[in-house]
Amino acid sequence: MTERIRFKRGDLTKERVDAIVNAANERLRGGGGVDGAIHRRAGPGLLAECIELYSEGCPTGEARITGGHELHAKYVIHTVGPIWEGGSASEPELLAACHAHAIALAAEHGIKSLAFPAISCGVYGYPPEKAAPVALGAVKEALEQHPSIELVRFVFLDADLRDLFSAAADRLG
């Protein structure tokens, strides 16, 4: 794939990048999984900023940006992935849009490095083997449009998920 995309096993909330991407819910109020972990580590200021700036929340497939608060990252880019409904409810298009919008927003804010989780692959039920090529294809295309982004790191708690995404990247070239 591209030299600008990397994969690792680790804790997304501890990444030392300009921005981490949050797999948020539409209300942007914190929740379970990655979303809850980011909100806990960032502290109460993150929730307060989400409420103040984005009282209307964030529609599926779009992205919003806040400060990183108590995280190492300066910013959090919140994006809402699709809930898997079998693949016939525009899930691939919405998942691609999450990644594209997050990268575009990063570029608009002068962000050079960002870290993504496996958006929608947890409680939203998107099969990782289907999500990986969609996510990676969207990131590759977005990086072509935004050359100022130097690094996109996908961070997974699970080594098997990391390996699945890495293999999908190899297949995409």
Supply the mean pLDDT for the chain: 97
73-126 pLDDT, tens digit each: 999 999 999 999 999 999 999 999 999 999 999 999 999 999 999 999 999 999
Question: In degrees rounded to 5, what are phi and psi of residue 35?
Answer: -55, -50
Q: Domains in the chain, start-ordered, CATH in brackets?
A: 5-172 (3.40.220.10)
| Confidence band, pLDDT 50/70/90 cuts, at residue 1 | low
Residue written as tokens 């910013």?
A: 75
Judge if pTM exceeds 0.75. Answer: yes
Q: Look at residue 49 and tell me whether its pLDDT is greater than 70.
A: yes
pLDDT of residue 75: 99
Question: In degrees rounded to 5, what are phi and psi of residue 132?
Answer: -55, -50
Question: In degrees rounded to 5, what are phi and psi of residue 121?
Answer: -85, -5
| Confidence band, pLDDT 50/70/90 cuts, at residue 159 | very high
pLDDT of residue 173: 83
Closest-CA residue to 119 (of 97, 140, 104)? 97
Q: Look at residue 40 and tell me whether its pLDDT is greater than 60.
A: yes
Q: Hey, which bits of 1-103 come out as E strands? A: 5-9, 19-23, 63-67, 75-79
Residue 137 parent element (H or E)? helix 128-145
